[in-house]
Structure 1
Amino acid sequence: MPGPWHWLAALALAVGLLAFGLAPARAGTADAGWRIRLLDAAVVSGATVTLGEIAEPVGPISPQAWRELAATPLWPSPAEPGRPMSVNRPRLQQALREALRDTESLCLYPGTLVLQRGGAVLREGDLRALAVRALTPALSAMPGEASMQDYRLPPYVFLAHPQQQVVVENTLAAPGRNTLRFAVREVDGSIVRKFTGSAFVDVWADVPCAAQPVNKDDVLTPDKITRVRKNLAYLREPAWDGLGGPWRLTRPVGADQVIYQSDLSGVPTVRRGSVVTVLYESGSVRLQVQGEAMADGGPGETIPVRNMQSKRQIYAAVKDGGTVVAR
């Protein structure tokens, strides 16, 4: 039966392993407080794949302990440089179980690991940074406060060699979801391949809204207009810019609702039902009678007018608020 000194020696060894950053190899492994996260895509350089090329530590493991684990050889690298190779999760688990033994229980696996020998790999965060840099000038030029969110990008992109570049081809942006067009560019400027992603652009700005409920055909006077902060990405069409007029509404608009440009029409010079002077001009003959406008009309527009004496309907061009000209 081992004496007390044997027990103390075993305890000291276990404490030393924990201080070094490695958990005991068996029952305590799952309680190490750190994990090994396998990447979903990685580039390897040598003839043999090592753990450090395809994984990263998560949690409080000492740098020295990770350096030793990272150097663990796993399997031969892909034979052909620049050609990605996929390793599914069961094969990955089996290989790491053989290489790491009990420490394999600390591994966090992706569904598939894609490897490439040589070259480079850009991850989603790298593509996001490229998109932000390319579109920042367009975002700065927008009214209000513009920002991007909800990126939908490839999780990774492999490059055949580090001299290749990924560039964003489109640099214009609009509120709402924007397509991002990427290209892989060779050293000589030629395009090797293209791929796409997208990002959602939020633009917060103060836009004209109804200060109170307004009805169809109401004239839009200043007391009926206010400005409310809205996200332009969710507007169904461009909002009215607040310029021009006088305007009247083509549809009812509720309080604090956005006033769109399509909601507005010019206030007619002549209103339907109003009494106007109808001028008849033909050569040297000039005649005027009273008429009733049968439709709204602005200057120069032709509207139907009913002669109040003969009851006949004619067409005349609007001259001003009280006069139309029939030729």
Structure 2
Amino acid sequence: MSGKRMTLFRTARPLRQSIRPKLLVYGLALTGLLSSWIAMAAEPAVIDLRSTAQVDGESILLGQVAEIVSDNSDQADVLRNVELGRAPLPGQSLLIHRSQIEMRLKHNGVDPQQYRIADQGPIKVLRNQEIISAEQIRAAVEAFIKAHAPWSADQMTIRPIHYAQDHGLPCGRLSIQITAPKHTDWLGAVPFKVIMRVDGREVKRTSVPAYIEVWQEVILAGKPLGRNQPITAGDIRAERMNLARVPANAVVRKDQVLGRRANRSIAVNSVLRLDQVDSPPVVRKGDVVQVLAESNLLRITTQGVAQGDAGIGERIRVLNMASKKKIHARVVDAQMVQVDY
């Protein structure tokens, strides 16, 4: 047994001695390969600055102003996405110097040994823009007025809109929103608000004035009218006028004044207003009148006594002779008043 053991032990020694040189060779080869890999990985990226560059967005990235050359794609991507600062306003430019780039790389934790800047700079960076012209804005406002004003096309005239400013906006999907002032009467000078958006975000707003003429017949005094004077067809005339130049409560139909009376003196050629006329009283205080209450299914009449003077269409207080209660009624004619039922 022991002899066999000794034989085995002795035969193993040459085997170990033969392996050692091979391991040494393999180790040296692996060391050389790793050294070459390390040398390749340590090769600095080259940042080749352009003389000019153009950007669309709000920020400037290194990859937009320089060509990045590196065998390491991950390293190149990191360098390309280093933010150098805010872009200028649309249509404007600025200069970026080499020192600024070095400072931003340091701020982002990039080792100076990992890159080499090939040029001295500076780089002129231009912010691209999309122009919305004054002509486009004028056309949009005019189209908005035509679509939303409460006047027919034959009544309304839009004077030429005097707006001459072009606007440079960021690149993207452009939209324009136009709004009219609250409670506008769409007459005369009206300022419209124009909001410009890019990709749904508001980037600029402005005000665009427009002048709207609306032509319509109005009723004028054809002769001087005295206080309490009944108005006849010979006392008035119609004339087509710009509503922006007449009172808001101007009389626009003859039937609004015929049979009524002036409640003050009115000069000839004056535009008649609704507050200048009233109805002559056909019912006077103390008159006995028929009081009518009527629905689709029922009609009731009774007698009442007028408590004041009123013309046709005006409301008056009436004493119900049956119930002795005072009610409000509308004058139908000299003999009848009607209550809501």
TM-score (norm 2): 0.46
TM-score (norm 1): 0.47
